[in-house]
Amino acid sequence: MSAETARTTPTLAVWKFASCDGCQLALLDCEDELLAIAGRLRIASFPEATRTLEPGPYDLSLVEGSITTPEDAERIKHVRATSRFLVVLGACGTSGGVQALRNVADVAEFASAVYASPQYLSTLDTSTPIKDHVKVDYELRGCPVDRGQLLEVITAYLAGRVPAIPDRSVCYECKARGAVCVTVAHGTPCLGPITHAGCGALCPAYGRGCFGCFGATRQARVGAMASLLKATAGNSPAARKAVQLTLSSVNPADPVFQAVGAEVARDSHDEAEA
């Protein structure tokens, strides 16, 4: 690539914060499509894939992971300052991820149970999404993200348009692939009605309820979902606990899932008092 071509070619940077690297691996799993995209942009910084790390500014930054340390909280500001567009990937970056379980727990107790010398840790009491710290141009849901949606986001920003990813629920995907509704057919608690599409209805297609990996849709109906979960799970304490675990398995800090859980817990308390 000539110096002039390199100067005019859009640059891509991929950043990791607190996460499992699954969303970065989803990008690498694009394989042939990624090679085609690479002809339209220059991957300037992607530690998971290359040792070549060019300094910014970057045209597009893909950010995986949540903010869990003081250093992360400062580093994300640098990422934002050096990025024309900033796209957040996955459940960790969009809602705090499974590590947001710390938000309702004793972090010091967790640390002492896991690490031999927790006094050397520097961590925050909460795990928060990227949007809580800097301006975000787009959020792509999933745990991990869907490769097709990821390619759509990258090509959309290269073309200067808004990504064409509809705000549909997993129920739409169930119908599209002809999967039997696990709630209607078997009474299985399922978060599909309020969960953003993108997984292809993977769990329901194999007879399991949706765990909400892609976070909540914008049109999610909290009250209706809480009523459905209570009706399918039953009234026993064990059943209600199972519902709470489902709601907190992947996106425990998602405000919609939290609201549904609070509704289920509130009605359970009211029924116990009655």
- Between the alpha carbon of residue 242 and those of residues 11, 36, 67, 96, 183, the distances in Å are 45, 45, 28, 21, 15
**pLDDT higher at 6 or 254:** 254
User: Which of the four pLDDT bands, split at 50, 70 and 90, describes residue 204?
Assistant: very high
Closest among 248, 247, 170, 167 to 205, alpha carbons compared: 170
Q: Does domain 3-159 have CATH number 3.40.50.700?
A: yes
Q: How many CA atoms lie within 13 A of 80 on its CB side?
A: 16
Enter the DSSP assignment of 253.
Answer: T
- Interval 218-269: pLDDT, tens: 999 999 999 999 888 877 788 878 888 888 888 999 999 999 999 988 865 5
**Widest CA span in the chain:** 76
- Report the mean per-residue pLDDT for the chain: 90
Please determine, for residue 274, whether its predicted confidence score (pLDDT) is greater than 60. Answer: no
- Interval 127-165: pLDDT, tens: 999 999 999 999 999 999 999 999 999 999 989 999 999
Q: What is the pLDDT of residue 154?
A: 94
Residue holding tokens 């950010």? 63
**197 near 145, Cβ under 8 Å?**
no
Supply the pTM of this predicted model: 0.88
- Interval 207-222: pLDDT, tens: 999 999 999 999 999 9
**58 near 11, Cβ under 8 Å?**
yes
Q: 11 pairs with which residues across the strands?
A: 42
Q: Please give the helix or strand (H or E) that residue 149 lies within, else none.
A: helix 147-159
Q: What is the pLDDT of residue 273?
A: 53
- Between the alpha carbon of residue 48 and those of residues 43, 201, 256, the distances in Å are 12, 29, 32
Residue 77: exposure state from Cβ atoms within 10 A (0-12, 13-18, ≥19): exposed
Residue 83: exposure state from Cβ atoms within 10 A (0-12, 13-18, ≥19): buried
Domain layout of the chain by residue ranges: 3-159, 170-273
Please determine, for residue 82, whether its predicted confidence score (pLDDT) is greater than 60. Answer: yes
